[in-house]
Amino acid sequence: MLRKKLCIILIVIIGITSTVLPVSAAQLPFIQDIAIYSRLLRQVQENSLNSACIRLDGRCLFKLSATDPELLGDRINEIQKRFAQVSADSLAVPNSQIEVNDKPNGNLQDLYITVGDRSERLFTVTNIDAEANDVGVPVRTRQLEFAIEQGLQTAKKERSPQYLRQQVIIGLLIFLVVWIGNFPLDRKVRALRKSAKKLAPTSKLKTLSITDQLAQRQKWNLTEIQFRLLQLAQVLIWCGGALGILNLYPQTRIIPFLLIASLRIPFRIGMIVLIVYFLVRLTYFLIAKISAAAIDTQSSDLKVNQRGKLRINTTTRILRSTVTIIWVGVGILAAFWINGVNLAPLLTGAGIFGLGLSLASQNLIKDAINGFIIIWDDRYAVGDVVDIGTVGGLVENINLRITQLRDAEGRLITIPNSAVEIVSNRSSQWSRADLIIPVAYQTDIDCALEVIEQVAQALAEDCQWCDRIWEFPQILGVDQFSDRGILIRVWIKTEPLQQWDVAREFRRRVKIAFDRAGIPIPIPQQQILFDQKKALNKINNIEQN
């Protein structure tokens, strides 16, 4: 799509330049008034000579100088208008005679252009013009006369029909070279675009293991860097071809200069944005690579490895957000600096503003400090199930400012890190399924315990569940007598976050085993005993009263 758009633009440029090019010496109308862009041509330097160009057909014909940038700008505007008018009149007549001469003006020299019977004063050659070129005023005057004569002769030659036909052929050749050379680049860009879309993070990424997530992030960031670089190269090739074609013709040669001069600041800012983007992507790639290497160095013991993976995953998330903020800040400062803004007062003002902001936003500072402590102490990580105060759920996101939990009802709970005091982590290192199994009072308790132990042994030896159960279930025995019956307690040590699945499967198997053994699971019941004679006496007393 990008290639087609650029191709269309280039075709339009060739069509316009090949159809509107006049054989006569007329120039494009907007070039007549140099005032619209003269101030873009100045190079302002403090405490030094400032120079700017007088242009003909987009080329810098000669430079004039001054110490005051404002005076230089006004001088350039006035001289350029005169020169544009005179050159347009002289080039309009193919066989017109042009003479450049000078006349003394005190210690200075005035330059005149004579076209036929008309003589026009251009400007006065000043001592500063001569000093800027390390020569005297007479020598600089002769240099300027020669430059103007050569420039006008070249402009006439470039307006001849043979020259214009030759440039049209060259323009078509440039277009063909760019168009043909772009085909392999375009195929590579399309392939990388498809790969980047496939590797881009989606909701399915969370279902993969942490190692696979990091590997996919590495491939995605590397593919994004390659894709954007090739896309940038494609744009530069097409833009370079378009500017090259425009630069072939005297009537359009000013356009590339105007574009470059007027878009100088946006171009610099755009380059800074691209550099920051590539640095962020490259840093993401390195973070994922280092995190993957850190996971590879973890112990092969699942009990130790699982916690380390969660902590590395959480640290990776925070590093990515931190690095993004740092690179964006550096990019903003670089954009100011490259465009000539003095950073010293800017940084001083930013420091004062930051101090005031810190005093007004003490809670944010507390959040950041407590967030750093949470990560350093490994209180919890992304993927843990925790209880914080009166809320609990799965940790979906954590950074230096907030912690976000997803509860059982799907609600996203956001907690400032400064409010995190007491944390109950249900998945740190390992988890435990705590089961209470009720049996009726009339049940043979030893038989019930034996059945439960058989179920526990069968579950622990099942290949589908043995990896999730880290120790043989503990049958703690009779834990309590209650209105539900006799309560038997069982503990099962499991892989983190697997306690609920294991508990559900264990209850299912216990119910099946109890049904086979004829052991009932009672419902809550209550027995009320009272003395019938005492109740009748109380009723009679109430009736007599």
pLDDT digits (tens, 9 = 90+) for 306-341: 666 667 777 787 888 888 888 998 888 888 888 777
Q: Would you state the structure tokens that stand for residue 359, as one six-digit string? A: 């005093």
Contact present, 249 and 315 (Cβ < 8 Å)? no
Q: Which long-range contacts (CB under 8 A, 24 or more apart) does 19-22 make?
A: 20/251, 21/164, 21/168, 21/249, 21/251, 22/251
Q: How confident is the model at residue 540 (pLDDT cuts 50, 70, 90)?
A: low
Beta bridge partners of 119: 114
* pLDDT at residue 356, rounded to an integer: 62
Q: Would you state the structure tokens that stand for residue 513, as one six-digit string? A: 């085993």
Q: How many CB atoms lie within 10 A of CB 167?
A: 19
Domain chopping of the chain, boundaries:
31-158, 164-350, 365-425, 431-517
Angular region, 532: left φ>0, alpha ψ -120 to 50, beta rest? alpha
Q: How confident is the model at residue 1 (pLDDT cuts 50, 70, 90)?
A: low
Percent of the chain beyond pLDDT 90?
Answer: 10
* pLDDT at residue 512, rounded to an integer: 92
Quick one: average pLDDT of 85-112? Answer: 81
Backbone angles phi, psi at 443, to 5 degrees: -75, 145
For the chain, give the mean pLDDT: 80
Backbone angles phi, psi at 340, to 5 degrees: 85, 10
- Residue 364 pLDDT > 70: yes
Q: Spell out the alpha helix ranges (H) of 93-160.
A: 127-132, 137-158
CATH of domain 431-517: 3.30.70.100
Across the beta sheet with 98-105, what order do the strands follow? 98-105, 108-115, 118-125
Is residue 241 within a helix (H) or strand (E), and if so which, with residue range?
helix 210-246
Yes or no: is domain 365-425 CATH 3.40.50.150? Answer: no
Q: What is the CA radius of gyration of the chain?
A: 42
CA distance 16 to 8: 12
pLDDT-wise least confident of 65-79, 195-209, 521-535: 521-535
**Among 254, 258, 316, 243, CA closest to 284:** 316
Contact present, 492 and 432 (Cβ < 8 Å)? yes
The residue with greater pLDDT, 168 or 24, is 168
Which of the listed ranges 5-9, 11-15, 240-244, 524-528 does the model predict with the highest average pLDDT? 240-244
The residues near 79 (Cβ < 8 Å, ≥ 6 apart) are 54, 64, 122, 123
Eight-class DSSP state of 469: B
Contact present, 278 and 318 (Cβ < 8 Å)? no
CA distance 487 to 445: 10
